[in-house]
Amino acid sequence: MIRFFCFIWIRLSSYIYKLSPIYWQHYVNLIPLRMRFWIGLFISLFGGLIGIGLFREWIKINYQLINDLQLDSVALIILIIGLIVTAIDHSKQSRNLKQLEAEQKGRVLKPKQRENLVNALNNVEKIKIVLTGIQGDRESIKFANSIKDIFIEADYEVDGVWEDIIIGGVGFGITLRESSSDPNSIGKIINEIMNENQIKSRVVLKPDLKPNQIEIIVGSRP
């Protein structure tokens, strides 16, 4: 008797797993992206039609061995499969939409992040900051203005934000240019503060730059 119940439990567990989204994920991925919703809707509709009887009599006439209980079970399974397909498609579309919204929103400084930056910069020697964003990159210019607000709040003199096409490019994140090679220079201290607050930045030596100023170039989003 115990063996019989174990066998029934194993078979039932197998059927339940096959009705789960995890089992059907692989098969759904084989369906073209644009067709998933409509195929899922069609499968659900087909299962519903069997359930309400439009096909029930035709099936019973042509397949006399099938009874009402079996038809109801088949209709339910088809309906569930269709709903799983549409649910997976909806979930993927929702994730893609959230990702697109995050990309359009761009880099945003959190209130705590902003507060930490201002407090740290207040303890650094004040120097003129020349801020530049990448021409044509709206996200870069927007984030450069956010950086500008922080330096102004920390009582720095800020020139810009200017838009420029940087010859050779600056890569992603923020690039600080200074003329000093001193390991404890202001540019390197500011760079350390930014990285400590999850703002990707680096320092580049520019010998012809005036010693009393630092250039900060806000590159594209990493």
The token pair at 50 is: 């069997």
Which H or E run contains 32? none
Q: What average pLDDT does the chain have? A: 75
User: Lowest mean pLDDT: which of 32-46, 74-88, 133-147, 193-207?
Assistant: 32-46
Task: State residue 107's pLDDT score.
Answer: 86
pLDDT over 70 (residue 166): yes
Mean pLDDT over residues 199-204, rounded? 92
Query: Can you say how many angstroms the Cα of residue 190 is from the centroid of all Cα atoms in its chain?
Result: 29
Which of 13-22, 36-45, 59-68, 130-139 has the largest mean confidence? 130-139
Query: In this structure, are residues 144 and 174 in contact, taking their beta carbons and an 8 Å threshold?
Result: no
pLDDT tens per residue, range 171-189: 778 999 999 999 999 999 9
Q: Which residue has the higher pLDDT, 105 or 140?
A: 140
Q: What pTM value is reported for the model? A: 0.56
Cα–Cα distance between 84 and 90 in angstroms, integer?
A: 10
Phi-psi label, residue 160: left if phi above 0, alpha if psi -120 to 50, beta otherwise: left
Task: State residue 155's pLDDT score.
Answer: 95
Task: State residue 69's pLDDT score.
Answer: 74
Query: Between the CA of residue 218 and those of 58, 66, 87, 138, 143, what are the distances in Å?
Result: 69, 70, 41, 11, 7
Q: Which residue has the higher pLDDT, 61 or 20?
A: 61
pLDDT category, 25, cuts 50, 70, 90?
A: low
Task: State residue 108's pLDDT score.
Answer: 87
pLDDT over 90 (residue 83): no
